[in-house]
């Protein structure tokens, strides 16, 4: 297991990369992989893999209900992750963290529990055009179920969210606004604090989708004052199958459970139940114990570095990618945010986005093409064939960008032949 304490380890991408065994494999031609698909999922450091192996090898059991030593240990480690995650995002207490299987489950859970408690027919929910389908469809489901109305917050010509436009959308009926903290396509970080402040003046609740932001933007929910926030472990160097939602404690205490089963109840009779306290009220059934423990190891791994140093170096690689790609005459960057964080999307003259992603595989480059679960955004950007996306993690270097540029030259030349 990783040490929980911050060790103040210097952040050096070349050295850090060695901690990620998958990145140290080579193909038949001796080339290492250039992983530019971290927005889909990040690679895992050895300590995360070790935490999973350690759990299954030494104390595999359920949490919260065993007297034997393994069960006590699993519960302690599992609940320790809740504490560390609360600290990591600046929550007031661990009870404000609800574990889920990922951001998608978190957003669906929030839509349902908030919907049950607060939505009335005719209420309005604002969702931006930037959003991943996971932050659109759960609200659309509430629209069908509870007769609310979804209002789309359109993007400006640079692909940014304009606060003045938001002011025109907020009305007395606006119950909630849900917005991404980092776009998985444009690399845009919207001004979340300003958005929250404006929404709150109007009495509107704010959900923040931090699925992408968790590993790339320092998050402090207290400073942001957002009401709810979701994240996924696998996008922050942890295992798949684990995630969380945060909610202000006073709000969570007002909300009903959305799933029935073990753990979420206090007392049960054949025809009734009383819900458990928060956060357990929202954690019905057996949780993904190993994955959450692995998530804790990922948080420890990140926390050992100077966070601002790590993010500054990551931003420098992304900036280098922006410069390098925009200097290629056949590449066109998509969107024009003031700063791109972790993601650079682009189009290549004469090539379908899927062809680009396929051709660069010849050079052992992994990147993603298509709609990226953002069809409304693709429509706004007028990109019917989707876009190519290079997305970055702490292990990427400027050499990776150079290899991408060479691979794109190769892809364009294959097409010319
Ligand atoms: N929101 C955003 C912005 C995302 O990029 C993703 C994943 N691509 C999700 C939500 C959903 O995350 P998950 O698939 O881990 O549930």
- In 388-400, which positions are buried (b, 16+ CB within 10 angstroms) versus exposed (e)? bbbbbbbbbbeeb
For 194, phi then psi, to 5°, come to -65, -40
What is the distance, to the nearest Å, from the Cα of residue 31 to the centroid of all Cα atoms in its chain? Answer: 29
CB 173 within 8 A of CB 179: no
pLDDT at 4: 33
Q: Which two tokens stand for residue 260?
A: 């029935």
Looking at 250, 269, 303, which one is the last position of a domain? 303
How confident is the model at residue 1, as a pLDDT? 35
- C-alpha of 406 from chain center: 30
Q: What angle do CA 89, 183, 177 make, to 5 degrees?
A: 70
The CATH number assigned to the domain holding 327 equals 3.90.1150.10
In a domain, 45, yes or no: no
406 in the same domain as 393? yes
In-domain check, residue 46: no
- Is 207 in contact with 125 (CB distance < 8 Å)? no
Distances (CA, A) of 302 to 4, 17, 76, 79, 288: 10, 13, 21, 19, 21
What CA–CA distance (Å, rounded) separates 367 from 187? 15
User: Long-range contacts of range 212-215, CB-CB < 8 Å, 24 or more positions apart?
Assistant: 212/39, 212/180, 212/181, 212/182, 212/183, 212/184, 212/342, 212/343, 213/180, 213/181, 213/182, 213/189, 214/89, 215/38, 215/42, 215/302, 215/342, 215/393, 215/394
With a 6 Å cutoff on the Cβ, whether 184 touches ligand 1 is: yes
The answer to whether residues 218 and 264 belong to one domain is: yes
Residues with a known catalytic role: 373
Q: Are 176 and 138 in contact (CB under 8 A)?
A: no
- Which of 269, 303, 337 delimits the end of a domain? 303
Answer yes or no: do 29 and 163 share one domain: no
Pocket test for ligand 1, best of 105, 110, 184, 216 (most atoms within 8 A of CB): 184
- The low-confidence residues of the chain, meaning pLDDT below 70, are 1-7, 417
* Sheet of 174-180, strands arranged across: 97-100, 243-247, 228-232, 205-209, 174-180, 124-128, 149-153
What is the 214 CA–ligand 1 centroid distance (Å)?
11
Backbone phi, then psi, for 331, in 5-degree steps?
A: -110, 140
Q: Which of 39, 42, 99, 104 to mutate to test the pocket of ligand 1 (most atoms within 8 A of CB)?
A: 104
Identify the domain containing residue 286 by its residue range: 51-303
Could you read off the pLDDT of 141-165 as tens digits, one per residue? 999 999 999 999 999 988 999 999 9
List the structure tokens of 399: 């050499």
Instruction: Flag whether 251 is in a domain.
Output: yes
For the stretch 74-133, pLDDT in tens is 999 999 999 999 999 999 999 999 999 999 999 999 999 999 999 999 999 999 999 999
From residue 400, give the alpha-carbon distance in Å to each of 11, 172, 221, 343, 404.
17, 50, 33, 14, 6
Determine if ligand 1 sits within 6 Å of the CB of residue 180: yes
Token duo for residue 125: 């929910």
Contact 166, 195 (CB under 8 A): yes
Same domain, yes or no, for 134 and 26?
Answer: no
Q: Indicate whether 279 and 137 sit together in one domain.
A: yes
Indicate the helix (H) or strand (E) that contains 103. Answer: helix 103-118
Joined together, the tokens standing for residue 134 give 């996971």
For ligand 1, say whether the CB of 178 is within 6 Å of any of its atoms: no
**Same domain? 287 vs 319:** no
DSSP calls for 33-73: PEE-BTTT-----HHHHHHHHHHHHH----SSS--SHHHHH
Number of folded domains that form the chain: 2
Q: Which residue shows structure tokens 């809740």?
A: 82
CA atoms of 224 and 61, how far apart (whole Å) = 37
User: Model's pTM, two decimal places?
Assistant: 0.97
Quick check: is 222 in a domain? yes
Provide the Cα torsion 290, 291, 294, 296; round to 10°: -110
257, 275, 303 - which closes a domain: 303
Question: 104: Cβ below 6 Å to ligand 1?
Answer: yes
Residues 386, 258 share a domain: no
Of the candidates 34, 13, 11, 39, the one whose C-alpha atom is nearest the C-alpha of residue 24 is 34
Residue nearest to atom 14 of ligand 1 (CA): 104
Write the CA distances from 258 to 115, 157, 160, 313, 387, integer angstroms: 10, 39, 34, 41, 36
* CB-based contact 336:183 (threshold 8 Å): no
210 close to ligand 1 (CB < 6 Angstrom): no
Does 269 lie in the same domain as 370? no
């Amino acid at each position: 297991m990783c040490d929980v304490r911050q060790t103040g380890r210097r952040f050096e991408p070349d050295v850090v990369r060695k901690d990620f065994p998958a990145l140290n494999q080579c193909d038949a031609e001796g080339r290492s992989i250039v992983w530019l698909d971290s927005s889909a999922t990040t690679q895992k450091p050895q300590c995360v893999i070790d935490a999973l192996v350690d759990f299954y090898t030494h104390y595999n059991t359920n949490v919260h209900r065993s007297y034997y030593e393994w069960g006590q240990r699993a519960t302690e480690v599992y609940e320790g992750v809740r504490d560390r995650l609360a600290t990591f995002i600046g929550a007031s207490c661990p009870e404000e963290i609800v574990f889920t299987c990922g951001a998608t489950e978190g957003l669906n859970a929030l839509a349902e529990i908030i919907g049950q408690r607060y939505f009335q027919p005719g209420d309005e929910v604002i969702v931006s055009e930037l959003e991943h389908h996971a932050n659109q469809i759960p609200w659309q489901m509430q629209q069908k179920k509870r007769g609310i109305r979804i209002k789309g917050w359109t993007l400006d010509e640079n692909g940014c969210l304009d606060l003045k436009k938001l002011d025109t959308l907020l009305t007395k009926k606006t119950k909630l606004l849900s917005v991404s903290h980092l776009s998985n396509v444009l690399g845009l970080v919207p001004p979340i604090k300003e958005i929250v402040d404006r929404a709150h003046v109007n009495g509107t609740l704010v959900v923040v989708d931090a699925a992408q932001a968790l590993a790339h933007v320092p998050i402090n929910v207290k400073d942001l004052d957002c009401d709810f926030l979701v994240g996924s472990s696998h996008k922050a160097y942890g295992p798949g199958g684990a995630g969380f939602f945060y909610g202000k404690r006073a709000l969570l205490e007002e909300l009903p459970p959305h799933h029935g089963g073990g753990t979420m109840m206090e007392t049960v009779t054949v025809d009734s139940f009383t819900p458990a306290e928060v956060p357990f009220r929202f954690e019905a059934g057996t949780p993904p114990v190993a994955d959450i423990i692995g998530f804790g190891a990922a948080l420890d791994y990140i926390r050992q570095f100077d966070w601002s140093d790590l993010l500054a170096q990551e931003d420098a690689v992304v900036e280098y990618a922006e410069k390098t790609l925009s200097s290629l005459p056949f590449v066109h960057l998509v969107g024009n945010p003031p700063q791109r964080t972790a993601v650079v999307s682009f189009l290549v003259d004469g090539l379908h986005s899927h062809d680009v992603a396929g051709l660069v595989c010849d050079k052992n480059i992994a990147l993603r093409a298509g709609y990226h679960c953002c069809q409304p955004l693709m429509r706004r950007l007028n990109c019917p064939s989707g876009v190519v996306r290079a997305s970055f993690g702490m292990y990427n270097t400027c050499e990776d960008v150079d290899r991408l540029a060479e691979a794109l030259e190769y892809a364009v030349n294959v097409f010319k032949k």
